A and B are shown apart, each in its own frame.
Chain A
């Protein structure tokens, strides 16, 4: 199975901060990498697909980059609605696997 490792596991940031979350795959996954946003009590939401494509509802302050084994999710200016847990997920191989999540908390 492909292991997905996110860092950091959690972070504290203030509104307006630039936030970066990284995701590393245990082998190359090309650009078959998705990001999801998860809030407590809510369903996960697809944020970014194919490493860098924003889903329709996603504000432009979010961006994704990377290919191969190293990927990044960036929030250019953190907003109150962005406090959540973010998961990366590879779809290169079966089983599809998720990172352990990065919890973005209010400082």
Chain B
């Protein structure tokens, strides 16, 4: 059974930094690209960042470039999201998910963690 377990969320003040982790089990982690998606309170889903299976390629939503950094350690089946200069609008549940092919029609996010809550407030 595939499981993704996020950790590292919490309450912090504006301007602070935080590193989220997502540990995967039940799959060959090094074969999967990984992504982070967030959901602010009462809002919809928003893609944050993705990293390729090898870690050699990363992508970010434009509004977060320079503040967030994604990385992975395939030896530990873990993907990370380093967040800095945090703002109140970064308050959200952050989910990690695996990226898989969509039957020749792009990609999809097929396994998801339960999420970790990040609250940025003074």
Are A95 and B108 also in contact (CB < 8 A) when A34-B102, A49-B103 are? Answer: no
Decide if A51 touches B105 in the complex (CB within 8 Å). Answer: yes
Decide if B44 touches A43 in the complex (CB within 8 Å). Answer: no
Decide if A43 touches B112 in the complex (CB within 8 Å). Answer: yes
Cβ–Cβ < 8 Å partners of B112 in chain A: 43-46
Q: Nearest Cβ in chain B — how far from A84, in angstroms? A: 13
Decide if B115 touches A49 in the complex (CB within 8 Å). Answer: no
Q: Nearest Cβ in chain B — how far from A25, in angstroms? A: 12
Decide if A34 touches B59 in the complex (CB within 8 Å). Answer: no
Would you call A3 an interface residue if the criterion is a C-beta within 8 Å of the partner chain's C-beta atoms? no
Would you call B62 an interface residue if the criterion is a C-beta within 8 Å of the partner chain's C-beta atoms? yes
Decide if A87 touches B45 in the complex (CB within 8 Å). Answer: yes
Would you call A89 an interface residue if the criterion is a C-beta within 8 Å of the partner chain's C-beta atoms? yes
Cβ–Cβ < 8 Å partners of B122 in chain A: none
Interface readout for A35-60 with B: 1 if CB under 8 Å, 0 if not?
Answer: 01010001111100111010100000
Cβ–Cβ < 8 Å partners of A34 in chain B: 102, 106, 108-109
Decide if A91 touches B102 in the complex (CB within 8 Å). Answer: yes
Would you call A31 an interface residue if the criterion is a C-beta within 8 Å of the partner chain's C-beta atoms? yes
Would you call A20 an interface residue if the criterion is a C-beta within 8 Å of the partner chain's C-beta atoms? no
Instruction: A44-B112, A98-B45, A101-B45 are known; give 15 further A-B pairs, CB within 8 A.
Output: A32-B105, A33-B105, A34-B108, A34-B109, A43-B95, A43-B112, A43-B113, A45-B112, A51-B105, A53-B102, A87-B44, A91-B106, A91-B107, A95-B47, A100-B44
Top 10 A-B pairs ranked by shortest CB distance?
Answer: A32-B106, A91-B106, A50-B105, A43-B112, A49-B102, A49-B108, A50-B102, A31-B105, A50-B103, A34-B108
Mark B residues whose CB is within 8 Å of A.
Answer: 37, 39, 44-47, 50, 59, 61-62, 95, 97, 102-110, 112-115
Q: List 17 interface pairs A-B (beta carbons < 8 Å), by A numbering.
A: A29-B106, A31-B106, A32-B106, A34-B108, A43-B113, A44-B45, A44-B95, A44-B97, A44-B109, A46-B112, A49-B108, A49-B110, A50-B108, A87-B44, A87-B45, A89-B45, A95-B59
